[in-house]
Chains A and B, each alone.
Chain A
């Protein structure tokens, strides 16, 4: 009768793989926590309110990276718009109905005319202000900004509905 020998190598390999996966999972969770802390600090720093002590939530909904909600005060959304390697980042503080109260620019690639104009229009349209200067880029940029503002509004309203439901 043939007796198949048990090979312990496969168990060692599987054990090593499980340890490596667990280590990767732990590292990923740690990095996510640190990243949230860093991003909420960025928001609080830019809004010049270190006492906010916001809690960060990563959303990744279109051009909305995430949301920083303080214990007391207005929620803020971080917007990241990218185009051909260039980037525009800003913080938009919103009131309870989701309309943008103020825009705090973080980074804008100043060598890109598109990003410069995006910054100007995002600030202007979100505040509902009219401007006299026009650019041929406006027709391409305005739909992006409208989309960003609508996304922020719907996210904030959804958050408020959940909060109201909890009360």
Chain B
């Protein structure tokens, strides 16, 4: 039981580490929203294709087509962003195309083999939603810390609180603090169990 728990925990930490590039790029609400939504559609597309393709196609083909589906959805998401705001697209397009190669999306592209894995596929989709929310909220938190305000309007008046938070090093420090806080809460919850 403990081995299963440890394995699940390690997978979550590996996924979080794989998500680090997106968390670092997400230094504001608008870019966080773009990256979060792009991640959600790419992750969902990869997981859905991996689940829906017939098993007889084999693991390699399934993985290839799932990653391809993720890349195509990222391209479409980028086109939508470009239509809505060309300047935002110019800011975000490099990090958007990175989404396809993140560990959670590649993990979702692996074909579920056993019946049990297929039954748990919905959990994978929910996990993707959680990761997307993490990317968006980190963007909002970093924008608040760096400029003292959260706004999609860049011309809104504000005052700098902690400009360091908008830089990549600031992202790593915030991720570390959040991870440490989360771990402390989990430990405290475990200790309080009868």
Where the two chains meet, the residues of A that have a C-beta atom closer than 8 Å to any C-beta of B are 7, 9-10, 13, 17, 20-21, 23-24, 27-28, 30-32, 34-35, 38-39, 60, 65, 80, 82, 84-87, 89, 107, 109-112
Contact = CB atoms under 8 A, between A and B. Distances in A.
A87 B88 CA distance: 11
Q: Is the interface of B mostly helix, strand, loop or mixed?
A: helix
B163 A84 contact: yes
Interface in B50-87: 53-54, 56-57, 61, 65, 68-69, 72, 75-76, 78-80, 82-83, 86-87
B91 A82 contact: yes
12 contacts: A13-B61, A17-B72, A30-B79, A31-B83, A39-B86, A60-B90, A85-B31, A85-B146, A85-B147, A87-B91, A111-B147, A112-B160
Contact of B54 (A9, A24, A28, A35): A9
B172 interface: no
A34 B148 CA distance: 34
Contacts of A112: 160
B12 interface: no
Interface stretch (B108-116, B117-125, B151-159): B151-159
Nearest to A25: B75
Nearest to A112: B160
Contact of B155 (A31, A39, A107): A107
Nearest to B84: A31
A86 B146 CA distance: 10
A60 B148 CA distance: 31
Contacts of B147: 85, 111
Contact of B154 (A9, A13, A35, A107): A107
Interface of B: 27-28, 31, 53-54, 56-57, 61, 65, 68-69, 72, 75-76, 78-80, 82-83, 86-87, 89-91, 142-143, 146-148, 154-155, 157-160, 163, 166-167
B97 to A, nearest CB: 12
Contact of B83 (A10, A35, A84): A35
B146 A84 contact: yes
Contact of B61 (A10, A27, A111): A10
Contacts of B148: 111
Find the residue from A13, A87, A109 having the highest chain B CB count within 10 A.
A13
A89 B91 CA distance: 12
Given A13-B53, A24-B79, A32-B82, A85 B155 contact: no
B128 to A, nearest CB: 20
A85 B143 contact: yes
Q: Which 6 A-B pairs have the closest CB atoms?
A: A31-B79, A84-B166, A35-B86, A31-B82, A85-B166, A27-B79
A9 B56 contact: yes
Contacts of B146: 84-85
B68 A27 contact: no
Contact of A28 (B31, B78, B91): B78
